[in-house]
Structure 1
């Protein structure tokens, strides 16, 4: 999947963007993207402080990255668990937010899920990201309660329709 212009008509800085399957060589860059996410500052910081996206994780799940074609810079990524279908991770680089990268990744996720015969994908959202998923067409289905010490806050549960 390729895009050189965002859905809002702004050109993504650095030129055309494509989505490709992640490889083990992407693991460090994906880990860095997670740990540096401004969405996880303040009270959410402990959640990603020691988080690691390892080569084994990439091999075990459907992980896709959005990269600038000219530089191969990772702008964002997602990880899809197939059984049961759930979006495990979705991160967009801080300076790439608002450029259409998240929308591009969700579009590719839907295409991947449809190709696998899935009708919907469960999303347990980081609370500040709920609005993004609702904008992408997800529907709120409930709340996943906090599970200390791993997760200290309730999270919205949504269903992202595939077709």
Structure 2
């Protein structure tokens, strides 16, 4: 028969409203991919960008990926996630499930990202924003630094470039 493995739960950081942030594990890959592909923020003209997007186990293992989960849900429903790349410092991904937006999950993830960046010794973190998300990033302290030009066919629109100062 197959091998037996001991599975331990990732360490969670508790937060208000039955939400916790924990390190993502390879088993989260399909849920994170569904969250990205199903995001209403990428509807209409933006849909092509995420249609084939995949957050794979290899990505999760090679980057600092963290998920916000509903601690009141026995399955640990994923409410959102982010990915912090250390070199060069960049917030590569940040998504909040459509039904969880407006509950402070995005702000929670940004604060968690900042604490991870601070612990890693970073003094700033770049983010190239999806155009509709620019207002959110600015509301949580990111500063506009420029614009990244379109790069068809992968990305057919200009995107705001912002930076989070890490104190």
Shorter-chain TM band: over 0.9
Cα distance, 1:70 vs structure 2 = 2.2
Aligned to 2:149: 145
Larger Rg: 2
Cα distance, 1:3 vs structure 2 = 1.7
CA RMSD of aligned residues (A): 0.7
Aligned to 1:41: 43
Q: Distance in 2 between matches of 1:162 and 1:109?
A: 10
Could you tell me which of 76, 82, 89 is aligned with 1:78? 82
- The aligned length equals 153
TM-score, normalised with respect to structure 1? 0.92
Q: Distance in 2 between matches of 1:74 and 1:17?
A: 9
Aligned to 1:114: 118
SS class of match (1:107): helix
Q: Is 1:133 equivalent to 2:145 in the alignment?
A: no
Higher RCO (C-alpha under 8 Å, 6+ residues apart)? 1
Query: What are the ranges of 5 or more consecutive residues in structure 1 without an aligned counterpart?
Result: 6-15
SS class of match (1:104): helix
User: 1:88-134 CA deviation, whole Å, 9 max, x = no partner?
Assistant: 00000001000000000001000000000001100000000000000
TM-score, normalised with respect to structure 2? 0.90
Aligned to 1:60: 62
Aligned positions of 1:12-23 closer than 5 A: 16-23=18-25
Q: Distance in 1 between matches of 2:49 and 2:22?
A: 27
Q: Is 1:99 equivalent to 2:103 in the alignment?
A: yes
Q: Distance in 2 between matches of 1:106 and 1:144?
A: 21
SS class of match (1:58): helix
Aligned to 2:71: 69
